[in-house]
Amino acid sequence: MNDYDVARLTEVLRGDGYERTENPDEADLVLINTCSVREKAEAKVASAAGRYREWKHKPGAVLAIGGCVAQQEGAKLLKRIPHADLTFGPDQIKNVPSLLQRVRAERQRIATTAVIDVEDYTFLDADPQPSDVKVSALVTIQKGCDNHCAFCIVPATRGREVSRPADEVVAEVQRFVALGAREVTLIGQNVNSYHAIGTDDDFAELLARVDGVAGLERLRFTTSHPKDFTPQVARAFRDLRTLGSWLHLPVQSGSSRTLKRMVRGYTREEYLEKVEYVRQLVPDISLTTDIIVGYPGESAEDFAETLSLLERVEFDSIYSFEYSERPETPALKLKLYDDVSAEIKAERLQEVQRLQRGITARRFSRYVGQEVEVLVEGESRASRTQACGRTRGNHMVNFHLGAAKSPAELAGQLVGVTIEAARTNTLVGRWVGRAGAAA
């Protein structure tokens, strides 16, 4: 979501006469976009801003801080970071040029946390230049969230849930594809609760409409709330041509008792039923998830259930975190005090990650010796002589090329790659030509 916001900020500022530079010494404006979902990410804001303290001595230099930390802290952030000139929340992206004009004209520091009412909210249409568009593009379908999971700060910083009109979503996908994108990821705080069409399952219908966009090769979405994940969406993985075989379905805990205190709206058993159903439809689907350890009141038995769920589901990979208190969350209002010690949290996180490393290694090893279909993204970070891309299951593949090919030549193409080895988080292989039997 932050990547998408940065792209829209770039476009809005470009319309006001700015050009983006990667060299701060050339910049008149430095803008830091922030996240407050995790405490560690929030702590990085002051550190990041501190790097521009000397830069601020440049005549006319403006330092702005946007995103969810700015929404959460407002004017308090200006006190913490005295060399910052402007803070603004996510709803104010389209107003950033006028806010910057006020900062310069009035020579005053401004903090705005205004949230646009659901009834008045309109989405910014992407207006990328051809050079901005890569093989893969992000398209937002909603903002905000009406769930109030006890640990989550998103409803406080992003506001109430608003779904984007389906025609706007499809038109934006078409715009990206026309400029060269071959893969699109639909994003939102909870895409499964999308509700702008009026059918029995709006999100499944939206997926079907996007699937019909000519020139689109791959479709993905993130992120999903398990309580709203429907059989219709599960069947879309089987039925839609472009929908990749990857599902990120954050479980957070394997204990029904903990899930109830998290106010997640489902039990361990209900989660497993949904996973088993989608695997019946697409046996080789890649599943990923989020895990929180050390949630208030989490007992050794609760934690053991999380470990057993990881073993049973066998996710391809996970994102795992220690619980940290976030302001304005239901957990604090419910007085769910952070009663699991830092030492126990650290031990549990290490145990989760150790278990998952073994599961990931087993899951990745199933591809060794097989030919897979890869959508090429470009040059590999691992080596300039290799290309990289992703499988339908969203696995990153670094692969060797024939002598007559270059990563740039293959970017945006579907190719066949024989997997020769599995690394910790990636697969390694060699190019065997255009995707055929692999598809």
Q: Helical H runs in 16-124?
A: 39-50, 68-73, 75-80, 96-106
For residue 54, the model assigns a pLDDT of 95
Half-sphere exposure of 46 (CA within 13 A, CB side): 11
Distance CA 388, CA 122 (A): 36
State which CATH number among 3.50.50.60, 3.40.30.10, 3.40.50.12160, 3.30.1360.120 fits the domain covering 2-114.
3.40.50.12160
In CATH, what is the architecture of 119-365? Alpha-Beta Horseshoe (3.80)
For residue 419, the model assigns a pLDDT of 98
For residue 245, the model assigns a pLDDT of 98
For residue 157, the model assigns a pLDDT of 86
For residue 55, the model assigns a pLDDT of 96
Give residue-wise pLDDT tens across range 213-250. 999 999 999 999 999 999 999 999 999 999 999 999 99
For residue 435, the model assigns a pLDDT of 65
For residue 111, the model assigns a pLDDT of 95
Residue 77: phi and psi, rounded to 5, are: -70, -35
Where the chain has pLDDT below 50, the residues are: 437-439
Q: Please report, as a single letter, which amino acid is at residue 295.
A: Y
139: left (phi over 0), alpha (psi -120 to 50) or beta: beta
For residue 177, the model assigns a pLDDT of 98
For residue 437, the model assigns a pLDDT of 39
For residue 436, the model assigns a pLDDT of 52
Distance CA 158, CA 89 (A): 8
For residue 434, the model assigns a pLDDT of 73
Domain ranges across the chain: 2-114, 119-365, 371-434
For residue 273, the model assigns a pLDDT of 98
Distance CA 43, CA 69 (A): 10
Cis peptide leading into residue 289 (ω within 30°): no
Q: Any idea what the Cα angle at residue 61 is, between residues 60 and 64, rounded to 5°?
A: 130
Fold of the domain spanning 371-434: OB fold (Dihydrolipoamide Acetyltransferase, E2P) (2.40.50)
Q: What is the pTM of this model?
A: 0.93
